[in-house]
Structure 1
Amino acid sequence: MSKNVSEQLLDILESVGVEHVYGVTGDALNFFVKAIEERDSVDWIGMKHEGNASFAAFGQSQTTGRLGVCAGTVGPGALHLINGLYNAKKERTPLIAITGQIDQRQQGTSFFQEVDLKKVFDDVCEYQAIIKTPEQAPMIIQRAIKIALANNTVCRIELPANVAEMKAENQQFIHPIQTYASRLVPNEETVSEAAALLNTAKTIGILAGDGCRESREAVLTLSKKLNAPITHSLRASDIFDHDTENVVGLTGLIGNPSGYNAVMKCDLLLMLGTDFPYIDFLPHDTKTIQVDIRQENIGNRTAVSLGVWSDISSFLTLLNPKIHQKDDTSFLDKLRKSFLGWKENMKEQASPTRENEPLHPQIFAGFVNEYAADDAIFTVETGTSAIWAAHHISFNQQRRLIGSFNHGSMAVGLPSAIGAQLAHPEKEIWCLSGDGAFNMAMQDFITAVRYKLPVKILIFNNSELSFVKLEMEEVGLAASLDALHETNVNFADYAKLCGGDGVRVEHAKDIGAAIQQAKNSTKPFIIDAVVSSGELSLPPHIGLKQAIGFGTAKVKEVAQVITGDKSQWENIKKELQSYFD
Structure 2
Amino acid sequence: MGAIAAEVLVSRLADWGVRTVFGLPGDGINGIMEGLRRNADRVRFVLVHHEEAAAFMATAHAKATGEIGVCLATSGPGGIHLANGLYDAKMDHQPVLAITGMQETSVLGTEYQQEVQLDRLFADVSVYNQMIVNPAQLPSLVDIAIRTAYARRGVAHLTVPNDIQVADAGQQPYELVAPANPPVTSPIYLAPPIRPRDDDLRQAAQVLNAGDRIAILVGIGARGAAPLIERLADTLDAPVIKTLSGKMVLPDDSLYTTGGIGLLGTRPSEELIEDIDTLIMLGTNFPYTKHLPPPGKVKTVQVEIEPTRAGVRMPTDVPLIGDVSATLEALLPMLQRRPNRRHLKHYQAKMADWRTNMAALESASRDPIAPQYLASLIDDLAADDAVLTCDSGTVATWAARHWTIRGGREFYLSGNLASMAPALPYAIAIQHAYPGRQVIAYPGDGGFAMLMAEFHTACRYRLPIKVVINNNNSLGQILWEQMVLGYPEYGVRFEGPRPDFSAWAKGCGGFGTYVERPGDLREALREAFAFDGPAVIDVAVDANEPPMPGKIKYEQAKHFAEAFMRGQPHRASIATTLFKDKIQQLRER
TM-score band, normalised by shorter chain: over 0.9
Q: Which runs of 5+ in 1 are unaligned?
A: 559-564
- Which of 321, 324, 340 aligns to 1:328? It is 340
1:182-581 superposed matches below 5 A: 182-284=192-294, 285-352=297-364, 355-480=365-490, 482-485=491-494, 488-557=498-567, 569-570=572-573, 572-573=575-576, 576=579, 580=583
Please state how far the C-alpha of 1:434 moved relative to its aligned partner: 0.5
Q: For residue 55 of structure 2, what is the aligned residue in structure 1?
A: 54
What SS does the corresponding residue of 1:422 show, helix, strand or coil?
helix
Cα pair 2:255 2:348 within 8 Å, conserved:
no
Task: Please identify, of 287-296 and 126-135, the stretch whose mean Cα deviation from structure 2 is larger.
Answer: 287-296
Cα pair 2:487 2:566 within 8 Å, conserved:
yes
What SS does the corresponding residue of 1:320 show, helix, strand or coil?
helix
Deviations 1:52-103, CA, capped at 9 Å, x for gaps: 1111111222111111111111111000000000001111111111100011
Q: For residue 37 of structure 2, what is the aligned residue in structure 1?
A: 37
Question: Is 1:116 paired with 2:125?
Answer: no
- The number of aligned residues is 571
* One-letter identity of the residue aligned with 2:492: A
Deviations 1:430-480, CA, capped at 9 Å, x for gaps: 001100000101011111111111110010011111111111111111111
Structure 1 distance, partners of 2:353, 2:242, is 18
Cα pair 2:202 2:334 within 8 Å, conserved:
yes
Please state how far the C-alpha of 1:230 moved relative to its aligned partner: 0.4
Cα pair 1:533 1:575 within 8 Å, conserved:
no
Please state how far the C-alpha of 1:575 moved relative to its aligned partner: 5.2
> What is the alpha-carbon root mean square deviation over aligned residues?
1.8
Structure 2 distance, partners of 1:335, 1:55, is 38
Structure 1 stretches of at least 4 aligned residues deviating more than 3 Å after TM superposition: 170-176, 567-581
Cα pair 2:544 2:573 within 8 Å, conserved:
no
Task: Please identify, of 484-493 and 72-81, the stretch whose mean Cα deviation from structure 2 is larger.
Answer: 484-493
Structure 1 distance, partners of 2:35, 2:192, is 36
Cα pair 2:4 2:169 within 8 Å, conserved:
yes
Structure 2 distance, partners of 1:286, 1:485, is 46
* One-letter identity of the residue aligned with 1:316: L
Please state how far the C-alpha of 1:382 moved relative to its aligned partner: 0.4
Cα pair 1:239 1:397 within 8 Å, conserved:
no
Deviations 1:164-196, CA, capped at 9 Å, x for gaps: 100111798565422213222222222112112
Deviations 1:119-142, CA, capped at 9 Å, x for gaps: 210000111121011122322222
What SS does the corresponding residue of 2:97 show, helix, strand or coil?
strand
Deviations 1:482-531, CA, capped at 9 Å, x for gaps: 33436641111221011111111112222221221121112210111110
Structure 2 distance, partners of 1:47, 1:431, is 17
* One-letter identity of the residue aligned with 2:165: A
* One-letter identity of the residue aligned with 1:384: T
What SS does the corresponding residue of 1:28 show, helix, strand or coil?
coil
What SS does the corresponding residue of 2:302 show, helix, strand or coil?
strand
Cα pair 1:23 1:46 within 8 Å, conserved:
yes
What SS does the corresponding residue of 1:3 show, helix, strand or coil?
coil
Structure 1 distance, partners of 2:548, 2:575, is 16
Q: For residue 561 of structure 1, what is the aligned residue in structure 2?
A: none
Structure 2 distance, partners of 1:297, 1:542, is 30
Structure 2 distance, partners of 1:350, 1:440, is 28
Cα pair 2:23 2:45 within 8 Å, conserved:
yes
* One-letter identity of the residue aligned with 1:485: F
Cα pair 1:54 1:85 within 8 Å, conserved:
yes
TM-score by length of 2: 0.93
* Percentage identity across paired residues of the two chains: 32
Cα pair 1:8 1:138 within 8 Å, conserved:
yes
After superposition, the Cα gap between the structure-2 partners of 1:573 and 1:220, relative to the gap in structure 1 and judged at 3 Å, is closer
TM-score by length of 1: 0.95
What SS does the corresponding residue of 2:463 show, helix, strand or coil?
coil
